[in-house]
Structure 1
Amino acid sequence: MSTLVAISLTTGILSGLWGWIAISLGLLSWAGFLGCTSYFASPNSGLKGLAESLVTNMTGVFWAMVIIHASQYASLDILGYVITAIVAFMMCIQAKQSWLGYIPGTFIGSCATFAASGDWKLVVPSLILGGLFGYLMKASGLWLHQKSSQPKLSTEQAMETR
């Protein structure tokens, strides 16, 4: 079985499971899929990619809340746009820190927060669990590919290895 087919199978199964878990826990299934997407799109894989995507997603949530709260104090619409411009700059410049270098992850977290009308208490666990599911989708798919690609031993060969 190819790597793509194996990851596709595990992603399909775990996507259905995620949908059920998200609804059961009252989470945002779509935000979880953004967390999953953030992991899959991360330039790194494995636990490093998971950490990178989760950390940047959380900074995105933070920056969105900065925009939401600061804009409430702006009496003119133009000030809200200026605040957005300054914060968008900050969202990008934070990438000078290597562990915050995954800029799309930051924007994914921010967009999820805006889409949820600033309900960060719902967005955060949805993104985190979604990212974990993304990690599990890929890791289990790679495991399945490895297991399916191992040469099959004949009964005689299997007996000899015991």
Structure 2
Amino acid sequence: MSVLISISITTGILSGLWAWVATSLGLLSWAGFLGCTSYFASPVSGLKGLGLSLVTNLSGVFWAMVIIYLSQHIAIDYLGYGITAIVAFFMCAQAKKGWLAYIPGTFIGSCATFAANGDWALVVPSLILGGVFGYAMKASGEWLHAKAKTKELLAITETEVRANKS
């Protein structure tokens, strides 16, 4: 079984579980899938990749709230557009810090916040749990692949031993 098929199996199972968990906890399932996607697309895997995707997602939530807050206090549309431009600059420039270097993760967190009409208190746990589910999907898929490969190697070895005895 290939790594892709193994990860596909565990992702399918855990996606269904995530949909149930999100509904049960009153979270945004789609925002959780954004957190999951952010982890899968992260340039780093493992726990470091999870940390990188979560930190940048949360920074995106922060920047979206800055835009929302400042735009609400300015009645001139053009100034709101300027605020968006300036904040977008900072969303990218923060990548100079290694732990904020994953710019797409920042924009994912920001977009989720805008899509949820600024309800950051709902977006944050949805993104975090979604990211954890993404980590679990990939890690369990890699585990399944390793198990299947070990079983396959044992079967080949057994066949070779039987052939040599003949």
TM-score range, shorter chain: over 0.9
Matches for 1:107-118 after TM superposition, within 5 Å = 107-118=107-118
In the TM superposition, structure 1's runs of 4+ consecutive aligned residues that sit over 2 Å from their partners are none
Aligned length: 156
Whole-Å separation in 2 of the counterparts to 1:146 and 1:109: 33
Paired position in structure 2 for 1:160: none
Deviation digits for residues 37-95 of structure 1 (CA, Å, limit 9, x no counterpart): 00000000000100000000000000000000000111200010011001000000000
Asked if 1:85 corresponds to 2:85, the answer is yes
Paired position in structure 2 for 1:141: 141
Whole-Å separation in 2 of the counterparts to 1:140 and 1:131: 14
Residue type at the aligned position of 1:77: D
Residue type at the aligned position of 1:87: V
Residue type at the aligned position of 2:28: L
Whole-Å separation in 2 of the counterparts to 1:75 and 1:146: 58
**Secondary structure of the corresponding residue to residue 154 of structure 2:** coil
Residue 130 of structure 1 deviates from its aligned partner by 0.2
C-alpha RMSD of the superposition: 1.2
Q: Which has the higher helix share?
A: 2
Residue type at the aligned position of 1:82: G
Q: Which is higher, the Rg of structure 1 or of structure 2?
A: 2
**Secondary structure of the corresponding residue to residue 44 of structure 1:** coil
Counterpart among 136, 151, 154 of residue 152 in structure 1: 154
User: Percent identity, aligned pairs only?
Assistant: 75
Unaligned runs of 5+ in 1: 158-162
Whole-Å separation in 1 of the counterparts to 2:144 and 2:61: 34
Unaligned runs of 5+ in 2: 162-166
Whole-Å separation in 2 of the counterparts to 1:148 and 1:97: 40
